[in-house]
Amino acid sequence: MKNVGENLCVPKFEEYFNLIKNLLHQRVNFRVPRAFVRTYGCQQNVSDSEKINGMLLAMGCEFAQSCEDADIIVFNTCAVRENAEDRVFGNVGALKVLKKKNPGLIIALCGCMTEQAHIVERLQQSFPFVDLIFGTNSLEKFPQLIYKILTEKKHIWSSKAECDAYGADANFGGNQINESLPIERASKIKAFLPIMYGCDNFCSYCVVPHVRGREKSRSAQAICNEFSQLIGSGYKEITLLGQNVNSYGKNLDERIDFAQLLRSLDSVSGDYWLRFMTSHPKDVTPKLINVMASGKHICHHLHLPFQSGSDRVLKLMNRGYTRQGYLEVISYVKAKMPDICLTSDVIVGFPGERYEDFCETLSLIKEVGFTSLFTFIYSKRSGTPAAEMDDSISEKEKFAWFRELLEVQNEITTRQCQKYDGEIVKVLIEGKSTKEGALTARTQGNMIVDVVGEEDLVGKFAMVKVTGIKNWFLTGEITEVL
C-alpha cells in the first residue's frame, strides 16, 4: 500500500487487479466477466487499447465479441477530426438501451476526446449513464477507477479536461511513463512499440498537443527490452510509434536521438522488419536517412506528412518547413534509397487556402509520386489557432478540391503499382484476405499484395511474383516461402 494525493492508504497499481477480480466475479454472478474495447483513431490509440486490454485480462476478464455481450465496455476515442467525434457521440448514445437492460454494465470512455473540457461537459450532459472517464495520460488509473466504481458505486470522471473543469488531479503532463502496464497485443505477427508520447509541435490546426500533452520519450533501455522480447517471441514486424518520432530523445537525460535508437534496434539479430511512424519533415536528418538506407531490417518506407504544397499555407499551419525544404528531403531520400515507398498526409481546405495554394499541393504530389496518400478535409478543432482563422471557402468547394485531389492521386497510385508488375518482391503474409482462399501480404514499402495460399503461411516472409494490379493494391503468386 502507498499514500497518494488524498492522504488515504490505497493499494498499489498491481494490487488492484486481484481486488477487482473478486469484485467483478461477484458482480456477474460468479461467471467470467466479459469486456469489449472499441478503438477509434490512430495507431497510438490502438497501442493504448492493447494496454487497456492487458489490464482487463489482469482483472480476470475475457473478451466479448460485441457491446451487447459485455459486462465492461470501453470506448477509446479520437478527437483529431469532427467526424471521428460525431461517431463516438452516436455510438455512446446507442449504449443507453444496454445500460437500461443491464444496470450492472460498466461503461468507460477514454482517449483524446476525454481530454477536452467542453467535450467532457457535453458527454456528462448527454450520457449520464456513462460510469467512468479517464484521459490519455492516466491509463494506469484505469484499475483504480474501476475499483472505485465497484466499491463506491458512483460515476468517475478523470482526465485533463476534468482537471481543468473540476479541479481533479489527472497527472497531466507529468514526466513519468508507467512501464509496468500489462499489454495484450492484437496480433502475434506485427507489434506497435511506442517510443514517445505527446507532441510539442502545435501545428495550428491540430488538437493532438492539447489532448495528449507535451512530448515524453521512453528510455532507450525500456524500448530495447520490449523490442528484444518481441523479436524473441517471434514477432516479424515492429512499428515504432510516436507523433514525431524524429524528435525522440529530446527530453531525456541520456544523449540519444532517433537515428541512434533506430540503429541500435536494427542491430538486434533476428528475422524481422522494422518500421516507424510518424516522421515530421522539419526533423528528418541525413543521419536518419543514412541509418535507414544502411539498416538490415529497416523497411524502405517513409511516411512523411507534408499537409500542403503551398508555402503560404504551410506557414499558416505552423509546420516549420517550406515546400522546397520538403522536396529536398525527398530528393535525398530517393538518392539514398531508390526503392523507397513514400506515403503522406494532406489537408484540403485549410482556412484561407486559395485554389492557387491547392494547385501547389497537386503539383507536389505529382512531383513526389507517393504510393498512397491519406487525404483529409480540414476540420475545425476548438482551442486551436486555426479555429480562429477566417475560413471563407465553402464546404462545397472543399469537397470539389478533395475529389480532384483523389483523382490525381489515384492515377499516381496506379502508376506506382504498375512499376511492380512482373517483379519478384519480398512480403510478410499477414492474414486471410476478404477474398475466399486468398491471403493478404505487405511489401516492405507497405503495399498490399493479395496472394493465393493456405492459412498456415500467415506470419511467414515469402517471395511473390506480382501478376496484377487492382487500383491501389497488387496481386501475386508465391514463388518461395522464406
List residues near ligand SF4 by CB under 6 A: 199, 201-203, 206, 208-209, 243-244, 280
CB of 213 to ligand SF4, least distance (A): 11
Please choose which of ligand SF4, ligand SAH, none residue 202 contacts, taking the beta carbon within 5 to 8 angstroms, the exact cut-off set by kind: ligand SF4
User: Measured on CA atoms in the order 256, 258, 263, 268, is the torsion positive or negative?
Assistant: positive
Give one DSSP letter per residue of 46-113, joined into a string: HHHHHHHHHHHHHTT-EE-SSGGG-SEEEEEE--SSHHHHHHHHHHHHTTHHHHHH-TT-EEEEEEGG
Among 377, 42, 350, residue whose Cα is nearest residue 204: 350
- The angle subtended at Cα 135 by Cα 133 and Cα 140, nearest 5°, is 95
Grid cell in block for residue 414: 496506379
Q: Which residue, 63 or 376, has its beta carbon nearer to ligand SAH?
A: 376
Q: Which of residues 75-114 bind ligand SAH (CB under 6 A)?
A: 80-81
CB of 201 to ligand SF4, least distance (A): 4
- Segment interacting with ligand SAH (CB under 6 A) among 83-91, 259-267, 375-383, 454-462: 375-383
Alpha helices (H) along 128-180: 142-152, 160-166
- Segment interacting with ligand SAH (CB under 6 A) among 104-112, 132-140, 202-210, 398-406: 202-210
Q: Which residue, 209 or 352, has its beta carbon nearer to ligand SF4?
A: 209
Q: Which residue, 64 or 362, has its beta carbon nearer to ligand SAH?
A: 362
Please choose which of ligand SF4, ligand SAH, none residue 376 contacts, taking the beta carbon within 5 to 8 angstroms, the exact cut-off set by kind: ligand SAH
CB of 414 to ligand SAH, least distance (A): 23
CB of 345 to ligand SF4, least distance (A): 8
Widest distance between CA atoms in the chain: 69
Tell me phi and psi for residue 286, to 5 degrees. Answer: -55, -35
Per-residue contact string for residues 214-253; x = within reach of ligand SAH by CB under 6 A: -----------------------------xx---------
Work out whether 148 is an interface residue with ligand SAH (CB under 6 A). Answer: no
The site for ligand SAH, by CB under 6 A, has a size of: 17
CB of 402 to ligand SAH, least distance (A): 11
Q: Which residue, 11 or 209, has its beta carbon nearer to ligand SAH?
A: 209
Q: At what angle do helices 43-58 and 142-152 cross, to 10 degrees?
A: 50
Among 199, 235, 193, 188, residue whose Cα is nearest residue 218: 193
CA–CA separation, 64 and 170 (whole Å): 29
Q: Which residue, 244 or 433, has its beta carbon nearer to ligand SF4?
A: 244
CB of 118 to ligand SAH, least distance (A): 16
CB of 304 to ligand SF4, least distance (A): 12
User: Measured on CA atoms in the order 372, 378, 384, 389, is the torsion positive or negative?
Assistant: positive
Q: Which residue, 243 or 409, has its beta carbon nearer to ligand SAH?
A: 243
Work out whether 278 is an interface residue with ligand SAH (CB under 6 A). Answer: yes
Among 98, 120, 96, 99, residue whose Cα is nearest residue 109: 120
Grid cell in block for residue 268: 538486434
Residue from 53, 159, 308, 379 touching ligand SAH (CB under 6 A): that is: 379
CB of 421 to ligand SF4, least distance (A): 35
- Segment interacting with ligand SAH (CB under 6 A) among 92-100, 201-209, 293-301, 389-397: 201-209
Cβ contacts of 416 within 8 Å, gap of 6 or more: 341, 369, 370, 371
Work out whether 305 is an interface residue with ligand SAH (CB under 6 A). Answer: yes
Q: Which residues are registered as beta bridge partners of 438?
A: 452
Per-residue contact string for residues 336-355; x = within reach of ligand SAH by CB under 6 A: ---------x-x--------
Grid cell in block for residue 376: 483529409
Tell me phi and psi for residue 122, to 5 degrees. Answer: -65, -40
Work out whether 443 is an interface residue with ligand SAH (CB under 6 A). Answer: no
Please choose which of ligand SAH, ligand SF4, none residue 236 contacts, taking the beta carbon within 5 to 8 angstroms, the exact cut-off set by kind: none
Q: Which residues are registered as beta bridge partners of 185?
A: none
Please choose which of ligand SF4, ligand SAH, none residue 194 contacts, taking the beta carbon within 5 to 8 angstroms, the exact cut-off set by kind: none
Burial (CB < 10 A; 0-12, 13-18, 19+), residue 124, is: middle
Q: Which residue has the cell 465479441?
A: 65
Burial (CB < 10 A; 0-12, 13-18, 19+), residue 3, is: exposed
Work out whether 284 is an interface residue with ligand SAH (CB under 6 A). Answer: no
Go through the chain and tell me how many residues it has. 482
CB of 361 to ligand SAH, least distance (A): 12
Binding residues (CB under 6 A) for ligand SAH: these are: 80-81, 205-206, 208, 243-244, 278, 280, 305, 307, 345, 347, 376, 378-379, 381
